[in-house]
Amino acid sequence: MLDSNRRTDRSTDAGLYAEIAVAASNVRGDRSFHYSVPNEFTDRIYPGQLVTVEFGNRLLHGVVLSVANSSPVYSTKPVLDIISDAILIDPGRLELARWVARNYGAPLGLLIETMLPPRLSKYIKHYYAADPSSNYEEKLSAVEAKTLKKLTVLGPSAYETLEKSIGKSCVKSLSHLVSTGVVRRWTELEMPEIGSQFVRMVSSPRQLKHDLCQLKRAPKQAELLRVLARRATDVPVKELLAECRASRSSLMALIDRGLVTVNRQFRLPQRVTKEDDVLQGPDLDAWNSIEAFLDRDGHAVSVLLGADADRLAVYIAAIEKVVAGGGKVMVIAPTEHEAESLFNSIASNVSAYVVLMTNSSTVSTKLGVWRSIRSGEVDVVVGPGYAVYAPMTRLALVIIDHEEDRSYKERRGARAHLRQVGIRAARIRRAAVILGSETPSIETFDNVEKERYRLILMSSAGQLRRARMRVGRGWGAHGPAGVVDVVDMRVAPLMGHGGVLSEELFYALQDCMQQKGRAVLFVNRRGAASLTVCRDCGFSFKCPDCSMYLVHHNRSSSLVCHTCNHRKSLPKNCPDCRSTRLRFWGYGTEAVVNSLKALFPTIRIGRLDSDVAPGVASTVAESFEIGATQILVGTSYIFRFASKLSSDLLGIVQADVGIGFPDYTAPERVFQSLMRLRRKVLGGQIDGRMVIQTLFPEHPVMLATSSGSYLKYFRSEIQSRIAHGFPPASRMVRFLYSNKDGEKAREEAHRLAENLKSASKVSHKGFRILGPAPCFISRERRLYRWHLVVSGDEEEVCSLLQIPHRGWVIDVDPVDLL
């Protein structure tokens, strides 16, 4: 009788041991666990396999990381079962999972879970059966005896079935029954059948005549068989029945006769074949560089700088080349939406097997896509950030488009930066990386400057550089230079109500309207007012659950919290002193529209932000595109309609560089979005004009923006990052703690600070601890928030990630500190 739960002592048993990543999502960091391998598994256990193990008193699955003849742990539990012999995660991806877990302090189990087929844990079933060969001498408790008796009657059953038929308390006695050997336990992987049904002919075509003879009195069945024979392949059930105008019963009869079989087959979703994008070939200089780059052996990163369409041409040529050489390609985009449009362009321009990884497809499609990629039949995977975890083998090229996009930084889960994960994935498999951008991120360009990445400038950028050189400006913004005016809003004369428009922007708009032109006004806030104040007692409306002020929205006459979406209607009187004199400070899109309406009563004005219903939004955009609307006021939401924004005037109502906010990437974001706006709005206009209203005209990023010089911007920004110890100058970790009780949050934050400080004494090395302090958003959704920010070198900082207990959120290289 085998006691499957016995522990193994290393001293007495020189057997085989497996290092396992257990699917427990709260073991932080890259910690793994060691289990002994029973003799029955020694010749079939491999890294990447899925196994069942006991963890604490839970039954969990895990993935084998390595197999060795010794274990660093004295006493080990046994591997209980190999769930399937398939290698679900290849060694390269195991290494990637470990790297992410270590560098971001994320649970290794979480990474493993994201790499396994979707929803895999739902398909793992634990089975129990009474072992008839075992004798019942053991002293069983009443409950155990009852469980055993029921199990004998039921036969082998899954845990879920047992739970239903014998109840929770009996089910708990199972583990003891297993350890005494009276009950056997094993695991099965029951993956759902996926794909649609296909009909297959059983006999050979030569036998067709003979088969048809027996169907003389069944014309429909004969017809089905004839069509099937003519097609000479498996035919989808639906298609076959439609073609023969037959019903399901005829098909069932054919199956009963044993003439056909029906099986499920997964076919990848058909690619969307729109009219092919008219693509010019990639520009020669850039392509020569990329080609040479791809020809060199091993891992290297190159930054491709150019306009969207130009980069796409290079991507496609690069994919063709790599696939022709037998390599696989990953194409990563910041959002699902962008991934889909990249997929459409690539799939219709490349002669390779291209699939789109998306969350919006059905579960079975996702599973099918995962399998197809794993099997190696797929050449190119296109997807949003998480597609860097796709199960690709023979990976030769990773393309990360819009590498500067902030959405690559995950805001939940592992909180990894998926651009960095993609680069690491390529490095592990010695694949090449192309980072595509029009305005590279500070981190990426820093790597260019330090000669870790190579810069490839496309002619669209190169031409601009030449044009700019003549007027003494650097490269970096695309499209004609145009005129840029920066208005100092602290001293500028204002027009209209609400302090929204400067005279300069007003006259620019007036000019533009008189010449029947169009204008885009960019505002960085939705709603009407950022602060609603009582003019008599000074009362201001705050969110009851957060530390934020409520924003007034005109349309619904309500007050909205932009952090938690708490809403209430705007009262007529001040809740404190009953005064009716409520005043609105600051402005958003609504206030700008109202102010403009008063100044330009005859002009049609459109508004585009996330408050506008999605269906209405595209109408607004189209109406602007055809000229029915002359002024468009919007937030960054307008980028969704980037192709419809072409205008003569671009007004930035308030360029806020985030001074006074703990958001060190704010200047980067301002530069990025203003440059992008300028390309999208004024790109085609020789005489295009841009007016930037700002309270900080002397801020280096404002100066760089007005001259359109990327280098100027980069220099000033990297200087400030170095000065403050922000990434990429050093590694930074933010430890965040939230609690209903503000005092408790404060205490906990101080406790962690002490723990971190003593850790620094142990290791002698230095790192800087900022705080503990309440966060800028000190209360959110009824929780008080405290944080600690640590910066130092990579090695040092990684060692701190394990210290905080559960409840702490760890954010490595956060994008803001709000």
Partner DNA sequence: AGCACGCCGACT
Partner DNA sequence: GTCGGCGTGCTC
- What are the backbone dihedrals phi and psi of residue 675, each rounded to the nearest 5 degrees, phi first? -65, -40
> ∠ at Cα 340 (334, 345), nearest 5°?
110
Q: Cβ 57 to DNA, closest distance in Å?
A: 5
Distance CA 415, CA 411 (A): 5
Our measurement of the distance from residue 751's CA atom to the centroid of its chain's CA atoms, rounded to an integer in Å, reads 33
The DSSP string of 722-744 is HHHT-TTTSEEEEEEEEESSHHH
Q: Cβ 70 to DNA, closest distance in Å?
A: 12
Q: Cβ 37 to DNA, closest distance in Å?
A: 11
Considering the complex, state which of residue 274 and residue 805 has its C-beta at the smaller distance from DNA.
805
Q: Cβ 268 to DNA, closest distance in Å?
A: 36
Stretch that binds DNA, among 24-32, 147-155, 519-527, 666-674 (CB under 7 A): 24-32
115 and 391 in contact (C-beta within 8 Å)? Answer: yes
Considering the complex, state which of residue 34 and residue 607 has its C-beta at the smaller distance from DNA.
34
Considering the complex, state which of residue 84 and residue 802 has its C-beta at the smaller distance from DNA.
802
Distance CA 377, CA 414 (A): 29
Stretch that binds DNA, among 21-29, 470-478, 480-488, 622-630 (CB under 7 A): 21-29
Stretch that binds DNA, among 29-37, 337-345, 505-513, 613-621 (CB under 7 A): 29-37
* Structure tokens given for 3: 């006691």
Assess 452 for contact with DNA (CB under 7 A). no
* Structure tokens given for 78: 């046994």
Distance CA 252, CA 259 (A): 10
Helices (H), ranges, 328-396: 336-347, 363-375
Among 54, 320, 410, 545, the residue binding DNA under the rule CB under 7 A is: 54
Stretch that binds DNA, among 28-36, 212-220, 242-250, 663-671 (CB under 7 A): 28-36
Considering the complex, state which of residue 171 and residue 253 has its C-beta at the smaller distance from DNA.
171
> How many chain residues interact with DNA (CB under 7 A)?
21
Q: Cβ 25 to DNA, closest distance in Å?
A: 6
Binding mask 77-116 for DNA (x = CB under 7 A): x---------------------------------------
Q: Cβ 809 to DNA, closest distance in Å?
A: 15
**Run of H or E including 37:** strand 33-37
Could you tell me the CA-to-CA distances from 253 to 217, 224, 227 in Å, in that order? 13, 11, 16
Stretch that binds DNA, among 22-30, 224-232, 253-261, 570-578 (CB under 7 A): 22-30
Considering the complex, state which of residue 129 and residue 803 has its C-beta at the smaller distance from DNA.
803
Among 56, 326, 472, 614, the residue binding DNA under the rule CB under 7 A is: 56
Which of left, alpha, beta for 390 (phi over 0: left; psi -120 to 50: alpha)?
A: beta
Considering the complex, state which of residue 226 and residue 751 has its C-beta at the smaller distance from DNA.
751
Q: Cβ 138 to DNA, closest distance in Å?
A: 21
Binding mask 214-253 for DNA (x = CB under 7 A): ----------------------------------------
Binding mask 685-714 for DNA (x = CB under 7 A): ------------------------------
Q: Cβ 773 to DNA, closest distance in Å?
A: 20
Handedness of CA 417, 419, 423, 428 (dihedral sign): positive
Considering the complex, state which of residue 446 and residue 748 has its C-beta at the smaller distance from DNA.
748
Our measurement of the distance from residue 35's CA atom to the centroid of its chain's CA atoms, rounded to an integer in Å, reads 33
794 and 731 in contact (C-beta within 8 Å)? Answer: yes
Considering the complex, state which of residue 76 and residue 709 has its C-beta at the smaller distance from DNA.
76
Considering the complex, state which of residue 63 and residue 395 has its C-beta at the smaller distance from DNA.
63
166 and 217 in contact (C-beta within 8 Å)? Answer: no
Considering the complex, state which of residue 24 and residue 279 has its C-beta at the smaller distance from DNA.
24
Sequence-ordered list of residues with C-beta below 8 angstroms from that of 571, at least 6 positions apart, any chain: none
Q: Cβ 617 to DNA, closest distance in Å?
A: 39
Stretch that binds DNA, among 51-59, 110-118, 189-197, 261-269 (CB under 7 A): 51-59
Binding mask 58-77 for DNA (x = CB under 7 A): x------------x-x-xxx
* Structure tokens given for 712: 């100027």
Ranges within 572-631 binding DNA (CB under 7 A): none
Q: Cβ 350 to DNA, closest distance in Å?
A: 44
Binding mask 31-50 for DNA (x = CB under 7 A): --xxx---------------
Q: Cβ 104 to DNA, closest distance in Å?
A: 18
Q: Which residue has the tokens 């999605």?
A: 614
Handedness of CA 126, 132, 134, 140 (dihedral sign): positive
348 and 298 in contact (C-beta within 8 Å)? Answer: no
52 and 4 in contact (C-beta within 8 Å)? Answer: no
Stretch that binds DNA, among 19-27, 98-106, 160-168, 517-525 (CB under 7 A): 19-27
Considering the complex, state which of residue 54 and residue 410 has its C-beta at the smaller distance from DNA.
54
List Cβ<8 Å contacts ≥24 apart for 222-225: 224/199, 224/250, 224/251, 224/254, 224/260, 225/201, 225/254, 225/259, 225/260
Ranges within 722-761 binding DNA (CB under 7 A): 748
Q: What percent of the chain is helix, strand and coil (3-state, nearest 5)?
A: 35, 25, 40
Q: Half-sphere exposure of 802 toward its Cβ, with a 13 Å CA cutoff?
A: 12
Q: Cβ 222 to DNA, closest distance in Å?
A: 58
Among 16, 21, 23, 27, the residue binding DNA under the rule CB under 7 A is: 27
Considering the complex, state which of residue 175 and residue 203 has its C-beta at the smaller distance from DNA.
175
Q: Which of 517, 481, 524 is nearest to 678 (CA)?
A: 481
Stretch that binds DNA, among 52-60, 526-534, 555-563, 722-730 (CB under 7 A): 52-60
Assess 55 for contact with DNA (CB under 7 A). yes
SS (H, E, C) 377-436: CCCEEEEEHHHHHCCCCCEEEEEECCCCCHHHECCCCCCCEHHHHHHHHHHHCCCEEEEE
Instruction: Provide the residue type at 457 as one letter.
Output: L
SS (H, E, C) 576-592: CCCCCCEEEECCCHHHH
Assess 806 for contact with DNA (CB under 7 A). yes
Among 24, 218, 531, 770, the residue binding DNA under the rule CB under 7 A is: 24
Stretch that binds DNA, among 184-192, 317-325, 393-401, 799-807 (CB under 7 A): 799-807
Q: Is 789 helix (H, G, I), strand (E, B) or coil?
A: strand
Assess 782 for contact with DNA (CB under 7 A). no
Considering the complex, state which of residue 32 and residue 372 has its C-beta at the smaller distance from DNA.
32
Among 5, 25, 524, 778, the residue binding DNA under the rule CB under 7 A is: 25
Sequence-ordered list of residues with C-beta below 8 angstroms from that of 595, at least 6 positions apart, any chain: 496, 497, 498, 500, 501, 587
Q: Which of 641, 713, 644, 639 is nearest to 676 (CA)?
A: 639
Stretch that binds DNA, among 124-132, 554-562, 785-793, 801-809 (CB under 7 A): 801-809
Assess 366 for contact with DNA (CB under 7 A). no
Ranges within 253-282 binding DNA (CB under 7 A): none
Judging by DSSP bridges, how do beta strands 501-502 and 631-634 pair with one another? unpaired
Chain residues in the site for DNA (CB under 7 A): 24-27, 33-35, 54-58, 71, 73, 75-77, 748, 805-807
